Each structure stands twice: as structure tokens, then as C-alpha cells.
Amino acid sequence: MLKWIINGLLIYGAYRLFTGLKGGSASKENGKAPEASRDETREGDLVEDPHCGVYIPVEQAVKGPGGELFCSQKCADAYKNSKED
């Protein structure tokens, strides 16, 4: 039984090593995944509305005047009005 556990751990370690060398998504300098800019978002990605904080799919987001992505036109207008004050 111990032999199976050791072999499983070795296989898992080799897999993790291989996927890490292949160019994993984590940044090496701080250990966090790099943040995608608004231009690099893909379909299916979630973005946070800067006004209300709701996360929504990129394809459903409303683009604001400054290029920000919002959950609705109402939030985009409220954000714009709060910036003008």
C-alpha cells in the first residue's frame, strides 16, 4: 500500500513540475496570477463593476465612457456622475 502512495506522489510531483515548466499562469515574482487588462479579457472571463462591485461576464458588460466595464448602463451613469462631483 505504501508503494502505491509513494508512486502516486511521484507521479503528481512530476505532473506539477511539467506544468510549471510549461509556463503556468502564476507570476514568479509575487506568486500571484497576473491581472488581465481590459484589452486582454476573453469571452467567459468575469470583470468587476467599479461602481457596485458585482462580477459579470465580459460579454454582458456595458462599456463606460472611460473604457471601464459595468454591469448596467445605470451603474455606468452613476459612476460617471460620481466622478464629476
DSSP codes, 19-30: HHHTT-SS-TTT
What lies within 8 Å, CB to CB, of 72 at 6+ separation is: 62
User: Is the pLDDT reported for residue 79 higher than 80?
Assistant: yes
Convert the pLDDT of each residue in 22-78 to its tens digit. 665 444 444 544 555 555 556 678 999 999 999 999 999 999 878 899 999 999 988
Distance (Å, whole) CA 28 – CA 25:
9
Sorting pLDDT into bands at 50, 70 and 90, what band is 80?
confident
Distance of CA 9 to the CA centre of its chain: 30
- Asked if residue 69 lies in contact with residue 62, where contact means CB atoms within 8 angstroms, the answer is yes
pLDDT of residue 28: 47
pTM, whole model, 2 decimals? 0.48
pLDDT of residue 27: 44
Please compute the mean of the pLDDT values over residues 7-30 and round it to a whole number. Answer: 74
